[in-house]
């Protein structure tokens, strides 16, 4: 991710928030984009004849709105995984009663510890010293009422709905009839500012500092007074891992790897915060951040326009997702695709683990024209094909099959982002890899269908999705096919109409010449059609939905020898069932010309590729069979 693009967003935010105090720039919203409940532990401090006393008054509940920025009054700032958050405000969660008790018992001692640590904070300001006395009393009162507070929190939790898992806890002070939130306390604000600054050049584990003076900042490209070594805006920089260090693996020299000035650290922090809160979403199960970068950087208006566009699209996408509409997760991508190339985008897919970000995929400087090709232009070309019209049935209604990246996830779930990367960068796909994954899904679904109840996608639909995927990759020119192949229509010499729809078969092959782009593929497909005809005969004759011949197909793990055996045995059984050696004459002629006479070409295909073309014929065979006409 480009730090300069993040800094540009930070500077824009700094300009827009001139009225805020510096501390407000560092206070974080713990549940971004959500409404949540805040449990406030209320402590009353009284002054009788110069003697201060503190009393625990119970728990209040406030709702924090995602639309308003009222989260700042609770002064939340995330801390380390082991050390807890910076102030007394922290997250809780709803679960089983035993889990709630266990979580609270782990969290509350850290909150009490914060009251103790605040007293140790060094400052020369008299107001802060006075507030430290208050927090000393609150910490003691907290400890004395520890189990009572636990019981009251659990009691409050039981009133929340089980689905409501966005709960937080903070402290409220009552004094002289006035309610003081943490944001109102000077000592809390000082601690947040001090922590925000120190984390840019200090590390607790291992205990080290990385700081220099009068060096060139990597953001401004200018010599700056104070240079920090740990000011990376996102936690993908790992200075405690030896492979990431310069200066002979000395963590103190990390500023050489990542020199960031004190001023740039502030704008990077603001940029990071805005991106996390406003420019993040999910794409088929994967979290991502999106960072805009105007092509012309002399004017701030384009940046504001781009961010407004992205924010509106992300909000709209969330609403569409709630309605469970198909392809909702591509709404942002299609919105970007409609823009001109006046900006580029960095997209970072990531996982969060132990308070650090693990980058899974980083797509740099992607232009809207690339999004247009991937999400509008090429899918529209594929969707127009006759094969995908009225291809799926939903709620008793036939609908068109439309391409989306969900199809890529279906076939490459374990390596989804790797293949998203290839597609965005226009890298070649291995044909063998493609058919391996297609057949893996078909076989897995076939096994599930036999071994369990519940919904499993019909193989016919999976096959059409696979053909759609192949067509999409061909349109992007990242897999090849034989564009010069010309299928010679088979003509009939029969005087009466056959049960096999030869005209329909010829038309299908011509319409799908990108898929059936060689004689051997047509031949294998035709063998699959013939076996489908046998399935129908056996199902009707034996009154079963599981035709015995299916066992001959070895779970669709075919090779040239098994495929040849399947054809000869299927033909033999059809002739015996029909008591006719000349049944399906036209289909057999196709198999003879395109399969039997071309068997030497089978060795040019992998087993998974020929298995797929067979299964495709098997699943689409019904459409080439005419209904039997009664006299």
pLDDT digits (tens, 9 = 90+) for 498-516: 788 999 999 999 999 999 9
How far apart are the C-alpha atoms of 594 and 599, rounded to whole Å?
Answer: 8
Given a cut of 50, is residue 241 above it in pLDDT? no
Q: What is the largest CA-CA distance in the chain?
A: 117
CA separation (Å) from 375 to 290, 514, 599?
A: 17, 21, 39
Among the residue ranges 189-203, 261-275, 302-316, 325-339, the one predicted with the least confidence is 189-203
Lookup: tokens for 82: 């082991």
Distance (Å, whole) CA 213 – CA 226: 5
Euclidean distance between CA atoms 264 and 548, whole angstroms? 72
Please report which confidence band the pLDDT of residue 248 belongs to, taking 50, 70 and 90 as the band edges. Answer: very low
- Rounded-to-integer distance, Cα 445 and Cα 457, Å: 7
Share of the chain above pLDDT 90, in %: 45
Is the four-CA dihedral 298, 299, 300, 303 of positive or negative sign?
negative
Of 500, 484, 538, nearest to 617 (Cα)? 500
pLDDT-derived band at 173, boundaries 50, 70, 90: very high
pLDDT given at position 245: 38
Question: How high is the mean pLDDT of the chain?
Answer: 86
pTM over 0.85: no
Place of tokens 């030869």: 502
Side-chain-side CA neighbours of 29 within 13 Å: the count stands at 22
Nearest to 610 by CA among 537, 493, 541, 525: 525
pLDDT higher than 50, residue 401: yes
Predicted local distance difference test score (pLDDT) of residue 424: 96
The backbone torsions φ and ψ at residue 584, rounded to the nearest 5 degrees and listed phi first, read 50, 50
Alpha helices, DSSP H, located in 373-430: 378-383, 405-411, 416-425
Instruction: With cut-offs at 50, 70 and 90, classify the pLDDT of residue 239.
Output: very low
Residues with Cβ within 8 Å of residue 477, at least 6 apart in sequence: 426
pLDDT at res. 177? 87
Output the DSSP codes for 351-369: EEETTEEEEEEEEEEE-HH
What is the model's pLDDT at position 249?
53
% of the chain with per-residue pLDDT over 70: 90
Model pLDDT, residue 299: 61
pLDDT of residue 477: 95
Dihedrals phi, psi of 412, to nearest 5 degrees: -130, 40
More confidently predicted of 230 and 281: 281
Interval 387-405 mean pLDDT: 89
Helices (H), 55-125: 97-120
The residue with tokens 């709702």 is 63
pLDDT > 50? residue 565? yes
Of 74, 103, 271, residue with least CA distance to 184 = 74
* Higher-pLDDT residue of 621, 491: 621
Strands, E assignment, 104-194: 167-175, 178-180
pLDDT (0 to 100) of residue 517 = 94
3-state secondary structure 98-113: HHHHHHHHHHHHHHHH
Residue 520 binned pLDDT confidence (cut-offs 50, 70, 90): very high
pLDDT at 24 over 90: no
Task: Decide if pLDDT at 454 tops 80.
Answer: no
């Amino acid at each position: 991710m480009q730090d300069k693009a993040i800094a540009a967003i930070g500077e824009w935010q700094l300009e827009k928030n001139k009225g805020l105090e510096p501390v407000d720039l560092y206070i974080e919203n713990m549940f971004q984009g959500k409404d949540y409940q805040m449990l406030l532990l209320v402590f009353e401090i009284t002054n009788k004849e110069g003697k201060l006393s503190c009393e625990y008054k119970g728990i209040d509940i406030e709702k924090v709105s995602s639309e308003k920025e009222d989260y700042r009054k609770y002064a939340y700032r995330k801390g380390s995984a082991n050390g807890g958050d910076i102030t007394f405000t922290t997250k809780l969660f709803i679960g089983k009663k035993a889990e709630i008790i266990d979580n609270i018992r782990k969290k509350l001692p850290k909150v009490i510890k914060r009251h103790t640590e605040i007293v140790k904070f060094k400052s020369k300001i008299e107001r802060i010293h006075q507030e430290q006395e208050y927090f000393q009393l609150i910490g003691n009162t907290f400890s004395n009422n520890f189990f009572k507070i636990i019981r009251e929190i659990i009691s409050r939790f039981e009133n929340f709905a089980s689905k409501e898992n966005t709960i937080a806890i903070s402290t409220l002070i009552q004094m002289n009839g006035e309610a003081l939130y943490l944001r109102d306390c000077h000592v809390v604000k000082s601690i947040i500012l001090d922590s925000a600054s120190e984390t840019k050049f200090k590390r607790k584990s291992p205990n080290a500092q990385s700081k220099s003076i009068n060096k060139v900042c990597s953001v401004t490209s200018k010599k700056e007074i104070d240079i920090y070594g740990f000011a990376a805006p996102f936690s993908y920089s790992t200075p405690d891992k030896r492979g990431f260090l310069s200066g002979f693996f000395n963590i103190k020299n990390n500023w050489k790897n990542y020199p960031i000035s004190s001023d740039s650290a502030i704008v990077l922090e603001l940029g990071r915060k805005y991106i996390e809160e406003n420019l993040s979403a999910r794409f088929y199960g994967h979290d991502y951040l999106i960072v805009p970068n105007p092509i012309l950087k002399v004017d701030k208006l384009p940046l504001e326009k781009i961010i407004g566009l992205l924010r509106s699209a992300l909000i709209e996408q969330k609403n569409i997702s709630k309605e469970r509409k198909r392809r909702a997760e591509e709404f942002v991508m299609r919105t970007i695709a409609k823009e001109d190339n006046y900006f580029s985008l960095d997209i970072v897919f990531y996982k969060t683990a132990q308070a650090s970000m693990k980058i899974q995929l980083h797509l740099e400087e992607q232009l809207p024209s690339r999004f247009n090709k991937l999400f509008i232009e090429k899918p529209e070309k594929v969707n127009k094909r006759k094969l995908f019209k009225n291809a799926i049935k939903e709620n008793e209604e036939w609908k068109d099959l439309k391409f989306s990246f969900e199809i890529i996830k279906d076939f490459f779930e374990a390596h989804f982002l790797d293949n998203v990367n290839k597609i965005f960068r226009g890298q070649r796909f291995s044909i063998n890899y493609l058919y391996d994954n297609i057949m893996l899904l078909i076989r897995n679904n076939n096994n599930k269908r036999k071994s369990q109840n519940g919904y499993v996608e019909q193989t016919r639909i999976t096959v059409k999705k696979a053909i759609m995927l192949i067509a999409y990759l061909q349109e992007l020119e990242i897999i090849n096919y034989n564009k010069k192949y010309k299928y010679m229509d088979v003509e009939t010499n029969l005087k009466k109409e056959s049960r096999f729809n030869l005209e329909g078969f010829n038309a299908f092959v011509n319409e799908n010449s990108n898929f059936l782009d060689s004689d051997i593929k047509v031949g294998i497909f035709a063998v699959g059609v013939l076996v489908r005809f046998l399935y129908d005969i056996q199902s009707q004759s034996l009154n079963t939905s599981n035709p015995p011949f299916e066992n001959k197909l070895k779970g669709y793990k075919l090779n040239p020898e098994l495929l040849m055996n399947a054809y000869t045995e299927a033909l033999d059984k059809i002739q015996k069932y029909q008591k006719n050696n000349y049944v399906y004459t036209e289909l057999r002629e196709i198999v003879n010309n395109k399969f039997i006479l071309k068997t030497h070409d089978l060795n040019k295909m992998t087993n998974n590729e020929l298995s797929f073309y067979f299964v495709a014929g098997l699943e689409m065979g019904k459409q080439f069979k005419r209904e039997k006409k009664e006299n």
